[in-house]
A and B are shown apart, each in its own frame.
Chain A
Amino acid sequence: MELTMEARATGESPSSELAARVMELEKRLALLEERSEDRVTIIVFSGDLDRVMAAFIIATGAAAMGQQASMFFTFWGLSVVKKQASFDGKTVLQKMMAMMSPASSQALPVSKMNYFGVGAKMLRAMMKQKNVSSLEDLIALAREMGVRMIACEMSRDVMGIKESELMPGLECGGVATFLGDALTSRASLFI
């Protein structure tokens, strides 16, 4: 009723009013679709071999499915993207941290039954037997497939990990870098 009165007042027919509304809705729908990209964002907080394997399998799987994938490495997750450990120019606490944390992805422990690294070696051997790609292969694959890899600047600085200790070609960023990707993702994971 309101519609017809309004239409009379402006001299438009109800159908053209409807067409205008449909156009407006289509515009808003297009805007909404634009906001959500085909992206998966993963925070790698953990430095446990098993969890990190899961993160990389999801990231490479997503990339294979035509999605963009972003991985944000923070705290213990930074060990995954370390290529070596160094002690030069570090404070005592930072040196202790470097000594106690894995020097690279090769040295990651497992989240359960690690037994000073024996568990991790066992899991790696069992995965090899089943022809599952190694973590290092998955990392290389992720990079090759264009998975965006970001090292958290703040936790890197706190833990005293130098940029020269990390793999080359990583991006560095903070919370807004993560949120910028997460807010336009279809899925976000915290691992």
Chain B
Amino acid sequence: MSTAFDKVLDARGMNCPMPLVNARKEIGTLNPGQVLKVMATDRGSVADFQGWVKVAKNVELVAQETETTDAGSLYVHYIKRTA
């Protein structure tokens, strides 16, 4: 099942805290209700994005997926801007 999204952020190769920092920047360019898809190779980003939505008031985690590719695991996060 694929999740709908409005914008993609390629955070592959980035390490802590850059996937989060860049996702935050990108979310700011979206309108409330829109979804950002983040592709990351940083394994820590899975828990990081869960932590982010726990404290931030304007984002919501729609879905998280892990894809196995030839180059290793790809962690995909779908974040919705709620306000």
B13 within 8 A of A: yes
Q: Which residues of A contact B16 (CB under 8 A)?
A: 57, 61, 132
Interface string of A46-81 (1 = CB under 8 A from B): 000000000001001101111100000000000000
B52 within 8 A of A: yes
Q: Whole-angstrom distance from the CB of B23 to the nearest CB of chain A?
A: 7
Of chain A, the residue at the smallest CB distance from B57 is: A66
A38 within 8 A of B: yes
Known: A65-B51, A65-B55, A66-B55. A145 touches B15 (CB 8 A): no
A130 within 8 A of B: yes
Of chain B, the residue at the smallest CB distance from A58 is: B17
Q: Which residues of A contact B52 (CB under 8 A)?
A: 64-65
B14 near A65 with CB under 8 A, answer no
B51 near A64 with CB under 8 A, answer no
A66 near B56 with CB under 8 A, answer yes
A66 near B24 with CB under 8 A, answer yes
A132 near B15 with CB under 8 A, answer yes
Question: How far, in angstroms, from A66 to B58 measured CA to CA in the complex?
Answer: 9
Is the interface on chain B under 10, 10 to 19, 20 to 34, or 35 or more residues? 10 to 19
Partner of B20, one of A38, A61, A131: A61
A85 within 8 A of B: no
A window 110-161: CB within 8 A of B: 130-133, 141, 145
Question: How far, in angstroms, from A141 to B55 measured CA to CA in the complex?
Answer: 21
Of chain B, the residue at the smallest CB distance from A56 is: B17
Question: How far, in angstroms, from A141 to B21 measured CA to CA in the complex?
Answer: 9
- Which of A38, A61, A63, A130 neighbours the largest number of chain B CB atoms within 10 Å of its CB? A61
Q: Which residues of B contact A67 (CB under 8 A)?
A: 55
B14 near A131 with CB under 8 A, answer yes
Q: Which residues of B contact A38 (CB under 8 A)?
A: 55
B window 23-64: CB within 8 A of A: 23-24, 48, 51-52, 55-58
Q: Which residues of A contact B55 (CB under 8 A)?
A: 38, 65-67
Q: Whole-angstrom distance from the CB of A131 to the nearest CB of chain B?
A: 5
Q: Which residues of B contact A132 (CB under 8 A)?
A: 15-16
Given contacts A64-B24, A64-B52, A131-B13, 13 further A-B contacts (CB under 8 A): A38-B55, A57-B17, A60-B21, A61-B48, A63-B21, A64-B23, A65-B20, A65-B24, A66-B55, A66-B57, A67-B55, A130-B15, A132-B16
Chain B interface residues (CB < 8 Å from chain A): 13-18, 20-21, 23-24, 48, 51-52, 55-58
A/B interface sample: 9 pairs, CB < 8 A: A60-B21, A61-B21, A61-B48, A64-B17, A64-B23, A67-B55, A131-B13, A133-B18, A145-B21
